[in-house]
Chains A and B, each alone.
Chain A
Amino acid sequence: MSATVMQAPPKATSTAALLGRRRRRIDLAARVFAVVATLVGLAFLASILITLFYLGAPGLSLHMLHTVTRAPGSNGGLANAIVGSIIQAGLGTLIGTPIGLMAGTYLAEYSNGTKLGNAVRFVSDILLSAPSILIGLFIYQVIVVPFGGFSGLAGAAALAILVIPVVVRTTEDMLRLIPITLREAAIALGAPRWKTIVFICYRAALDGLLTGVLLAVARVAGETAPLLFTSLGNSDYSGLGSAMSSLPITIYQYAASAFDDWVQLAWTGALLITLGVLAINIVARTLVRRR
């Protein structure tokens, strides 16, 4: 009898120890998995950047920056695509920012809890993630068909629609961060509401608002799908009224082509646009961090 009493406790501790080991092993497996997942994620980014530099950097030259796109084999460049991209993204941002800013201000300052406010916020969120190719189809229907042709203006309009929800979102978030006491202080001094918003809230949230605009620029600068049916692409400099080339469209057309010099230009363009977009993103992030 004493033997059984003696034997029982060691058995109990061994199951506990076993369970403990099992739990620790599962925990370790989860930790290892998490680290591996992060490394895989970083590896993807590294692989993309290395590929871009490896294949794109050899094509970087001043010549490419001031020569327009030409037929394969005749030493063309990307100048008109770069200019077209800057014009369309710039114009799109110029059109989209005020609209987004006003809608965001309405959401943060005036709409508290109203049905209209919630509806606008909902629509803006949907537009933020809506497939961009559909925006292209939409602009094709409202601008390209009625005006009888592809144009840089239509491309800019498509990009403007993409800019709006990004700006709305950041504007609302940033204005909500402004302490209510700041507004009360302004109102107590007798400032009307619009003055409070423009001179107090906007100034206090300036960094944040700027970040929103920068993120929007970064988003539209790399967009290809909405430009396919709106600005189409062109092989020379062109005005806003006619088809206009852009960097992403040119990359799209050149990357799949059979000519070595076009493929090289596509990679160089890809490197330029990625560096530009990532640089804008990093600047935007530093702005937020400073706050």
Chain B
Amino acid sequence: MLALLGTIIVLLFIGGLPAFRTFGLGFLVSSAWNPVTEKFGALVSVYGTIVSSLLALVMAVPLAFGIAYFLTELAPGWMRRPVGTAIELLAAVPSIIYGMWGFFVLAPLISTTLKPALAATLGHVPGLGALFRNMPGDSSIFTAALVLAVMIIPFIAATMRDVFLTVPVIFKESAFGLGCTSWEVMRSIVLPYTRASVIGGIMLGLGRALGETMAVTFVIGNTNRISPSLFAPGNTIASLVALEFPESENGSLQLSSLLALGFILFVISFIVLAISRTLLAPKAAT
């Protein structure tokens, strides 16, 4: 097992070595991606990966928290199991299905309703407006982030529910005894008690979102350009690799650049997952 992980990292690094050697550190900050002139850079896809994942978190965390709150505190006993199972099944749906659903159902829906609405309102706010400028086409970073959000909600919600259940009942009962409302118990007792694990759960969701491939490839539009608007198409490391890998020749600089991207992605997700694990570990042990 240990050897496996080590080999994965080493091989991705070796594979990416020609690209790192050719472009140096410039690989990280260059926004070029041109197979014809053999100029490659990681900036656009790294930007797309991080922006879409963070945006997905912003959308997923409140919803996941609401679901966990409902399942642990509010739902009547008979409802908890079926609803909890349904949410967990959401995690079991293969990612390619999310891709198709996002492409055929969600993307047109956003494009006809949410996008014009946001562009017409927030789009006029100075500064912030650039984020919501209307762009043609159904595919966008925003759509990708929304699909990612739906995909990671069950992971975050399940972790939150499990750690909320570890709060000793006596703490909660004491707070209720003092006359706290159910929301106040959640805010002042449950959340502080489980803070580290909750953040760990969120990081776990982030780790998932960063490396998600198929769903994103369907809806992000796959354009190698950084645009200020969230409704413009973009790409992520994973989607770029999935699209271009089959087309690149063995031993070419393009292939090596893709492997180098894989290495970068591995490093990013390794850091995120390692943080998540450290935060989740102490509570899980007790």
Contact = CB atoms under 8 A, between A and B. Distances in A.
Interface of A: 23-24, 26-27, 29-31, 33-38, 40-42, 44-45, 47-48, 51-52, 55, 103, 119-120, 122-127, 129-135, 137-138, 140-142, 145, 161, 164, 168, 218-219, 221-225, 228-229, 232, 248, 251-252, 255-256, 266-267, 270, 273-274, 277-278, 281-282, 285
B1 A37 contact: no
Interface in B191-222: 204, 207-208, 210-214, 218
Nearest to B101: A48
Nearest to B186: A30
B269 A130 contact: yes
A29 B90 CA distance: 26
Interface of B: 1-2, 4-5, 7-8, 11-12, 15, 62-67, 69-71, 73-75, 83, 85-90, 92-101, 103-105, 150, 153-154, 157, 181-184, 186, 204, 207-208, 210-214, 218, 238, 241-242, 245-246, 250, 258-259, 262, 265-266, 269-270, 273-274, 277
Nearest to A55: B104
A34 B83 contact: no
B241 A27 contact: no
Contact of B66 (A34, A130, A266): A34
30 contacts: A27-B184, A30-B182, A37-B64, A38-B87, A40-B63, A41-B90, A45-B90, A45-B93, A55-B104, A124-B1, A126-B277, A129-B211, A130-B266, A131-B238, A131-B265, A131-B266, A133-B262, A137-B262, A138-B12, A219-B92, A222-B97, A224-B95, A225-B213, A228-B245, A251-B100, A267-B100, A270-B100, A274-B93, A277-B93, A281-B88
Given A40-B63, A161-B4, A277-B92, A34 B74 contact: yes
B74 A51 contact: no
Contact of A222 (B96, B181, B207, B262): B96
Q: DSSP class of A's interface residues: helix, strand, loop or mixed? A: helix
Contacts of B97: 48, 52, 222, 270, 273-274
Contacts of B242: 133, 225, 228
Most-contacted residue by chain B among A27, A122, A134 (CB, 10 A): A134
Contacts of B15: 137, 141
B101 A51 contact: yes
